[in-house]
């Protein structure tokens, strides 16, 4: 930056016109406001110069400047070009302004550029990012020529809005898929909780000839591995990422932290956390704190909290979820209450539903059930089924019928279909020998046709996750599986019979 200022001063003293060279250098830094000041001193700026400045604002902001520059350019030249609209559509998407987007779209049509593939792709992308999928699809369907970025723009919009079935249909129709196409599907599945589909799509992508996952692909699939517990696949992805230098990308590192945290590999997570060194951001600290908190290592989690404050890192709402969870697992009621109060008083963070949930869990585990119930009653927002469910679980542990009945009543109203709430309350009644309560609940469940849902087990094998329920025969290799189990059972029984014979002897 100092060099740019020196060149600028030299040009002014000696009457040289270095404005365009300086502007180009300022775009790279970037210092757009300084570049704009130099631009304003150009006597007759060309449409190319206008476009470069519009592009800079579209990328770096503030995006509102794009439209005043567009107005100036049109007034001076009475014309524009398709490239201008490409940047303007991107600016509208960044500003989340449908009204402005439609207005620029109208200017685009009047300018006669509706057959330019780059500008129309940007138009499809704008409507997709604004969530106006009907408009995006309409533009897409009327395009004479569509390239891969055009397809990607449309189905990424469907994925972003959670419409994965429509996204998948478009994905299958793309004439030529590139890395962005595959990554968009992986990311869409992952963000919409379809983790198995995300992982399978990534594994299919790896098998495609000439395609190599990039940093975004890796960052998108690792949360799926974390939520599925697919540790072996995740470890292979880390090796691939290291080979390609992707661990220079902090998003990849943070995704790996989440993987090792959720899979219980705490030492591996801490090793990676230390490897990041001074590149750590708030997400890195939060992930490591959460890692320790959910696995009961509350002292280490709270130590990290104190350490991040000493290093000048400002906590956010997620930081406090991790800290309160650490207090919950450590049974530190006083510390939890202190942290909860400090959120608003010291850091200006308004407690959200999840923070109240942590406090209810903390109080409930320590048997302070009435205090937890009163906290729920005084919450500034409506409690959800997770908070009531947390309290009901605590009532079950401490065999408190009185609070359990009030809690269950709220749950029956929120989610009358959930059999688990009936079962927990029934077990509480049974623990204190209230058989009339047990019978009443069974009658209620039968009358409402509420059936307890079967639980799933999962096994990771050869890059695949297999799901099973009790006596399940839906798996394509169920016959072979049951044959092996039968053989194992007979071997166990033979071994057990042999042990008995030896004992008798």
**Secondary structure, 3-state, 390-409:** HHHHHHHHHCCHHHHHHHHH
pLDDT at 495: 74
Structure tokens at 367: 């048997």
In whole angstroms, give the CA distance from residue 386 to residue 335: 23
- What pairs with residue 466 in β-bridges? 459
Long-range contacts of 451-457 (CB under 8 A, 24+ apart): 451/419, 452/419, 452/420, 452/423, 453/419
- For tokens 């001193």, what's the residue? 41
pLDDT digits (tens, 9 = 90+) for 203-230: 999 999 889 999 999 999 999 999 999 9
Q: Which sign does the torsion angle of CA 23, 29, 31, 34 carry?
A: negative
Q: Is 457 helix (H, G, I), strand (E, B) or coil?
A: strand
pLDDT digits (tens, 9 = 90+) for 395-447: 999 999 999 999 999 999 998 888 888 888 889 989 888 888 888 888 887 76
- Phi–psi pair at 176, nearest 5 degrees: -140, 110
pLDDT at 12: 47
In whole angstroms, give the CA distance from residue 392 to residue 426: 11
- For tokens 């599925």, what's the residue? 228
* CB-count exposure of residue 292 (10 Å: 0-12, 13-18, 19+): buried
Structure tokens at 185: 């599907």
**If we measure between CA atoms, which residue out of 254, 258, 183, 204 comes closest to residue 227?**
258
Structure tokens at 443: 């009658």
- What pairs with residue 464 in β-bridges? 461
**194 CB contacts (<8 Å, ≥6 apart)?**
164
Q: Is 496 helix (H, G, I), strand (E, B) or coil?
A: helix
The Cβ-side half-sphere exposure at 137, using a 13 Å CA radius, reads: 10
In whole angstroms, give the CA distance from residue 464 to residue 456: 16
pLDDT at 242: 96
pLDDT digits (tens, 9 = 90+) for 147-177: 999 999 999 999 999 999 999 999 999 999 9
Whether the link from the prior residue into 112 is cis, omega within 30° of 0, is no
Instruction: Count the neighbouring beta carbons within 10 Å of the beta carbon of residue 487.
Output: 10
In whole angstroms, give the CA distance from residue 137 to residue 154: 7
In whole angstroms, give the CA distance from residue 52 to residue 27: 9
Whether 151 and 122 have beta carbons less than 8 Å apart is answered as no
| pLDDT of residue 11 exceeding 80 | no
**448 CB contacts (<8 Å, ≥6 apart)?**
416
pLDDT at 19: 61
* CB-count exposure of residue 248 (10 Å: 0-12, 13-18, 19+): exposed
CA dihedral 477→479→482→486, nearest 10 degrees, is: -140
With b for 16 or more beta-carbon neighbours within 10 A and e for fewer, the 316-334 pattern comes to: eebbbbbbbbbbbbbebbe
Q: Is 467 helix (H, G, I), strand (E, B) or coil?
A: strand
| 33-42, 49-58, 89-98, 341-350: segment of lowest average pLDDT | 33-42
In whole angstroms, give the CA distance from residue 428 to residue 393: 10
Helix (H) or strand (E) holding 464: strand 464-468
Mean model confidence pLDDT for the chain: 88
**pTM of the predicted protein model:** 0.76
In whole angstroms, give the CA distance from residue 484 to residue 181: 41
pLDDT at 411: 93
Q: Is 178 helix (H, G, I), strand (E, B) or coil?
A: coil
In whole angstroms, give the CA distance from residue 88 to residue 65: 10
How many residues in total does the chain contain? 505
With b for 16 or more beta-carbon neighbours within 10 A and e for fewer, the 395-409 pattern comes to: bbebebeebbeebbe
Tell me the mean pLDDT in the region 319-339. 96
């Amino acid at each position: 930056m100092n060099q740019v200022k020196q060149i600028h001063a030299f040009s002014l003293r000696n009457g040289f016109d270095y404005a365009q060279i300086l502007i180009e250098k300022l775009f790279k830094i970037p210092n757009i406001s300084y570049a704009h000041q130099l631009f304003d001193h150009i006597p007759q700026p060309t449409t190319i110069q206008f476009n470069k400045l519009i592009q800079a604002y579209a990328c770096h902001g503030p995006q509102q400047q794009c439209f005043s520059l567009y107005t100036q350019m049109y007034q001076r030249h009475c014309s524009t070009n398709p490239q201008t609209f490409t940047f303007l559509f991107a600016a509208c998407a960044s500003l989340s302004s449908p009204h402005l987007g439609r207005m620029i779209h109208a200017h685009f049509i009047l300018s006669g550029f509706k057959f330019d593939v780059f500008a129309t792709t940007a138009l499809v992308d704008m409507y997709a990012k604004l969530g106006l999928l009907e408009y995006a699809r309409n533009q897409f369907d009327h395009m004479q020529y569509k390239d891969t970025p055009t397809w990607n723009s449309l189905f990424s919009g469907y994925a972003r809005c959670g419409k994965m079935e429509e996204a998948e249909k478009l994905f299958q129709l793309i004439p030529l898929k590139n890395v962005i196409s595959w990554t968009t599907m992986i990311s869409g599945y992952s963000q919409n909780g379809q983790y198995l589909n995300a992982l399978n799509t990534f594994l299919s992508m790896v098998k495609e000839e000439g395609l190599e996952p990039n940093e975004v692909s890796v960052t998108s699939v690792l949360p799926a591995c974390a939520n599925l517990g697919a540790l072996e696949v995740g470890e292979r992805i880390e090796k691939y990422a290291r080979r390609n230098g992707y661990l220079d990308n902090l998003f990849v590192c943070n995704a790996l932290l989440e993987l090792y945290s959720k899979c219980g590999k705490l030492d591996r997570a801490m090793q990676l956390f230390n490897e990041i060194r001074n590149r750590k951001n708030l997400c890195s600290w939060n992930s490591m704190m959460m890692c320790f908190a959910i696995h009961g290592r509350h002292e280490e989690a709270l130590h990290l909290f104190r350490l991040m404050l000493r290093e000048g890192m400002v906590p956010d709402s997620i930081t406090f979820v991790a800290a309160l969870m650490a207090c919950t697992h450590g049974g530190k009621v006083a510390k939890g209450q202190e942290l909860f109060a400090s959120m608003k008083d010291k850091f200006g963070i308004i407690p959200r539903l999840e923070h109240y949930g942590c406090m209810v869990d903390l109080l409930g585990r320590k048997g302070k059930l009435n205090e937890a119930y009163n906290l729920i009653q005084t919450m500034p927002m409506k409690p959800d089924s997770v908070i009531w469910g947390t309290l009901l679980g605590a009532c079950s542990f401490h065999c408190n019928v009185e609070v359990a009945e009030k809690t269950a009543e709220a749950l029956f109203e929120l989610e009358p279909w959930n059999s688990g709430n009936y079962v927990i309350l029934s077990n509480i009644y049974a623990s204190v020998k209230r058989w009339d309560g047990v019978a009443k609940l069974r009658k209620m469940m039968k009358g409402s046709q509420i059936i307890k849902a079967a639980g799933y087990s999962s096994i990771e094998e050869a890059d695949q996750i297999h799901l099973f329920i009790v006596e399940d025969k839906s798996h394509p290799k169920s016959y072979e599986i049951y044959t092996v189990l039968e053989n194992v059972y007979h071997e166990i029984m033979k071994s057990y019979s042999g042990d008995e014979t030896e004992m008798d002897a």
